[in-house]
Chains A and B, each alone.
Chain A
């Protein structure tokens, strides 16, 4: 059975159908992509998957359990972590503190433990720190851990978000336009990082991306949507040669270039 199974997903905002009867699956251990022209509803799909939007209909099964209409933090706890299209770091906190947030749902000490500083509380704090530092080391930011998050370069801030998501120990990582705003070298590093997350950490990845080069290079399975409905699905090669996709997606990219 697939790690993530979406069936007949439907979402509308005041009568406007944003997602219609969308079905797709992400197999354990793969790197999958969700692509489509601007406004096709990609981020809306992410928001449904992670509980930020409440879909009107359909099924979302993750790791064998239904997660539809559950609270975002419960879905994260179930093992689905996300990054945001626009950076959503805790700006005035340090890089390390940002990453520690990911460990919150994997630990449990409450107020009493904090005040009394019990043995288990101190062990847990040490664990939170060490896991967070490991995640930072993984994305190559350990040296920056004590800096304020908003003083980092843009590309580095993105990596803090990644480390933060990794610290939740996810089974599935959802990346919302990870390459947006990155330069050529940073994109190359990004591809390496995506592959390392899958290969070294065994985390399944689903990404939304505009950068076709990146998508074609890393994805094993691509789902193309337009106007909230699936228009194609398959490997990079299949999708690239699909006339519907060329019409909907690649056509619009020419338009973007003109602008």
Chain B
């Protein structure tokens, strides 16, 4: 349905993370021109920053200024109203009001949830003694999602301290590799036989484990942790930032605190809810009250052993922040439920995008929604949603002259609603690490000589009798050199792949998987991409050409030499060989020398 009365009514965005920042960027020209009114509410005191890079920030590889995605002054100068450092208490959909933690309320015409996700805090002894209460992380325990977490990690890395990463997922590994590279002593503790358990197969896991060990990272596989041990640190604990730091933690006041945070740093998964959920304000939480807070000293495992450390980084996945939406009566599942137009169920004025949104429409027969597994946790889909939603919000609003920079004023029309948002492809993971190349996607469980599963073929569509083509698997393994590749294809198109230690092949496979393109029948073409010496460029000069520039072949030069040319200059004068770029002088010289060499006795 076309927006009518809501066209010029205010847009309110809850959350100011990377996905919200993309939406704001896209709406900015219309705000600047006065065609739109826009308010952005964020519970962190800073404008959006690239949460994906928080681990890099935590190991000192970048600065907070360089990961900024928005500038407060620029946005305010354009007319955007920023409400930062406040939480949303509740949304009154009947009156179209957003009530904030500071007691004020904001009227909306259209409301966008970009509240992101928050990290899952596992149930560990002494981490959260009272399950009825919001979680307060002890000193020396962090999730890695905001600037304060990064600062805490940075102190640990600078002090070359012992960092324990709980979780063998992609974000945990990225943090582990970065911290180890920058000098921390790192242990990764994870379930299952190998890291990235949900994304790569066992062989890839072995190659990856070797790469981790080579970088000095201890890996505790098949480990179930049961609790944390807290002790009084002998000073210099890196953990102070992890305490309930009132300055950094907004005052929420209620358990229904702001779902206002950051839409998720999806790719980083550390991009999760604000600490305010985990570290509620002192008003309601039990205030430890013990004076000097105890700090993390070790992780307890179920076999009774412990892993000592100075800092524990929890990297155990994320969960969508849906409390405010749920409190407003919106349907939620793994996220706020939206249709394919990102519109909340039964409320055309409310939208959700990014890590807090689950696309599942009201049509129970919808094929696209049948396999929904909730928010992807990746940044790419969130950004695509933000760009698309901006076009929806701008439909019919944008007057000529308010185009984004670069567009020509002439011939600009108010934009119509965009074509439907394409459903997201299955996620691809690319490990963000220096010198360890891992990319994977899809189903990588199948092995080369597996028997085809009877009747359970996922390629078999209901109502058709035609059997789907078989799943074929090709692999390449060279553990000594840290290389492993698996490609699972159906009719030549990838259903899954994993690539370790093969950067070029991995990069191409990502593209081929995302496009659904057919692989070359000769799969070794992909292996060759990582070959050390690439063959000379083909498609250039015909065989035997010595001088490409002038198009002179070996025979002509040899004839000139026979005819009396004894120097490169003479050959050039006679044949023009070597008169362009000069790159063939060596070869011409060799031909001359060859001719004048004494014949073998």
Same complex origin of A and B: no
